[in-house]
Amino acid sequence: MSRPLVIDARLNAYRQGGIARYTQALVHHMVRQAPDEDWLVLTHRRMAQWPDAAVRTLRAWTPPHHRWEQLSLPLELLRARPRLLHSPDFIPPLRRCYPAVITVHDLAFRLFPEILDAAAKRYYGQIDAAVRSASRIIVDSHSTAADLTRLLDVDPARLHVIHLATDMQPLSVVPDEERQIGAHTLRAGQFMTFVSTIEPRKNIPMLLQAMRVVVERQPRTAYRLVLAGNRGWLDSEVFALIKELRLDAVVLFAEAPSDAEVRWLLSACRCYVNPSRYEGFGLPALEALACGAPALVSNASSLPEVVGDAALLLPPDDVQAWADSIERLWHDGDLRAELRRRGPAQAATFSWQRTAAQTLAVYRAALSAAE
């Protein structure tokens, strides 16, 4: 009886974005590229069914990030007898008798420890042991690879940079089309879009300061900024600053938008803005380019690697530069048209097929080294 390649997808029972989307896309494309392999997806009992019914699954009792995970998960995996285990959520079982591949998406928890609660500190506090234990380490960007070398002293030779991708396609939006998103009625071409969790490293206060500048410069211009995402750590400071800067009528919050709503917000916006101080990859920026959104993006961490020359890059803490560029892009139709042309071409340089093929190559290298 063959022993399977196991992908730990328990997190998908609890979350839908980020790592969960990466795991689902990876499984989908790897299974189709290597149909003769014995694949097994480890899910959690909370998930009724894996989205792809053709993929064999094993339902675990141990929730992701559980305090007893390092004891109970290896026992549950005894049933699977893995030939290899991939942990897309950073931390593998540290006691095991098979090779493990891990994906480290970013080191935000090291750079911004204030974002962690006690449970997160315990879980991500295992990262040093995880990178020592792993047979191979996948990272989403060269920026994250540099962070692992600098912050965790990982040998660069052990790191495999494999970019993410997106299947998002632009919607056809008619001029002045209106859509209800949450409590707000939005008109195509008359708003800017920010998509992400509302948390400190996303640098939203700087963006709000820039919005205050452009509003004061041109009070007759109907600027609108839509903050689309989930509420996160210390988000109350953002909402307090909106009131303090008198931007209540300018900045609109669309909480927990659906994938369809995000697609419309990126396809219909006048421009997309991402002032983040730190990203392991920056998937929303890639999705914005794929949807043809003219983009203003921070030149920090991995973002230049993702957007290339298809966006305007700005220092994350230069309020005046952001104000100037928001004003310019809002009023310069030719520049918006040029960025709309460049964005989808840049997004097309990333593909899940390539991500899957490169990940399969890492698996095979780990298996070969373990023989």
Shared domain for 219 and 101, answered yes or no, is no
Residue 295: name the closest of 322, 318, 319 by CA.
322
Shared domain for 249 and 221, answered yes or no, is yes
How far is 12 from 19, CA to CA, in rounded Å? 8
H or E element that contains 253? strand 251-255
DSSP state of 47: S
Shared domain for 197 and 220, answered yes or no, is yes
Which tens digit of pLDDT belongs to each residue from 37-76?
Answer: 999 999 999 998 999 988 999 999 999 999 999 999 999 9
Shared domain for 139 and 232, answered yes or no, is no
Shared domain for 276 and 324, answered yes or no, is yes
Q: Is residue 295 part of a domain?
A: yes
Q: Is residue 171 part of a domain?
A: no
Shared domain for 182 and 329, answered yes or no, is yes
Which tens digit of pLDDT belongs to each residue from 97-120?
Answer: 999 999 999 999 999 888 788 998
Shared domain for 205 and 261, answered yes or no, is yes
Containing structural domain, residue 357: 5-165+351-370
Q: What's residue 240's pLDDT?
A: 95
Tokens, residue 64: 């992701």
Residue 164 C-alpha from the chain's centroid: 9
How far is 65 from 67, CA to CA, in rounded Å? 6
The answer to whether 261 touches 168, Cβ cutoff 8 Å, is no
Shared domain for 360 and 316, answered yes or no, is no
Residue 185 C-alpha from the chain's centroid: 27
Answer yes or no: is pLDDT of 214 > 90: yes
Shared domain for 343 and 355, answered yes or no, is no
Tally of structural domains, the chain: 2
Q: Is residue 29 part of a domain?
A: yes
Q: Is residue 301 part of a domain?
A: yes
How far is 352 from 82, CA to CA, in rounded Å? 24
End-to-end CA distance of the chain: 18
Beta carbons within 10 angstroms of residue 155's beta carbon: 10
How far is 231 from 362, CA to CA, in rounded Å? 36
Q: Is residue 313 part of a domain?
A: yes
Q: Please tell me which residue, 150 or 15, carries the higher pLDDT value.
A: 150
CATH number of the domain within which 239 lies: 3.40.50.2000
Shared domain for 252 and 148, answered yes or no, is no
Q: Is 203 left (phi over 0), alpha (psi -120 to 50) or beta?
A: left
Shared domain for 359 and 342, answered yes or no, is no
Q: Is residue 173 part of a domain?
A: no
Shared domain for 360 and 341, answered yes or no, is no
Q: Is residue 92 part of a domain?
A: yes
pTM of the model: 0.95
How far is 131 from 101, CA to CA, in rounded Å? 10
